[in-house]
Amino acid sequence: MKVTMDIELKDEPGQLISALEPVSSNKANLISVFHYHKTGGMTKTGGGKVQVQLVLDAKVPVIEKIKEDMEKAGIRILRIGEEKYLETITVVMIGHVVNTDIRDTISRIDQTGIAEVTDMSLSMPEINKPTSAVITINAIGNDELKKVVALLKEIAKEKDLLLVLPIEIE
């Protein structure tokens, strides 16, 4: 089972390594770590603490043991829950991406209820020249991902954009 776990750590060197020890000792598969550490305190949770998000893949008893071990170690668990999105795709759109309303493209994907845009990077070399966007989309499952790819193809055709898909999808 894929699970997202948000934890709170002291803003001190070595805390992240210590927090990952229960994951390692219980042999869970660590998929990703998002360490929200910014200067200026915007993502700090207060009191010299920072938030970290872990995505793990393990059976329920293993997740429960990790949770128990973290709590024993004084690590505060802010949230734990099953991961909603299981499939990810990264695509490139080339053309007048901004001028054809990138917000509309993102909204149409997000409004499907089966997928959402989770990351995007824009390249705008000159003001009236074509732009490109690298877009990462997470979907509930493989069938839903195929539906989103079909939607992306429609959007690209409608907006006269070139859509570059991963080889295994094309």
In degrees and rounded to multiples of 5, residue 151 shows phi and psi of -65, -45
In the numeric block, the tokens 């993102």 are attached to: 106
Using alpha carbons only, how large is the chain's radius of gyration in Å?
20
Residue ranges in the chain whose pLDDT is less than 70: 36-47, 82-85, 169-170
Closest CA to 138 of 84, 87, 90: 87
- Distance, in Å, from the CA atom of 35 to the CA atom of 17, rounded to the nearest integer, reads 12
The gap from C-alpha 51 to its chain's centroid, in whole angstroms, comes to 15
Yes or no: say if 116 and 82 are a contact pair by the CB < 8 Å rule. no
pTM score above 0.75: no
Looking at residue 101, its pLDDT comes to 92
- Distance, in Å, from the CA atom of 87 to the CA atom of 89, rounded to the nearest integer, reads 7
Looking at residue 147, its pLDDT comes to 94
Yes or no: say if 166 and 90 are a contact pair by the CB < 8 Å rule. yes
Looking at residue 149, its pLDDT comes to 95
- Give the DSSP H or E segment for 51: strand 49-57
Looking at residue 84, its pLDDT comes to 67
Structural domains of the chain, with CATH: 2-82 (3.30.70.260), 87-164 (3.30.70.260)
In the numeric block, the tokens 């390692």 are attached to: 24
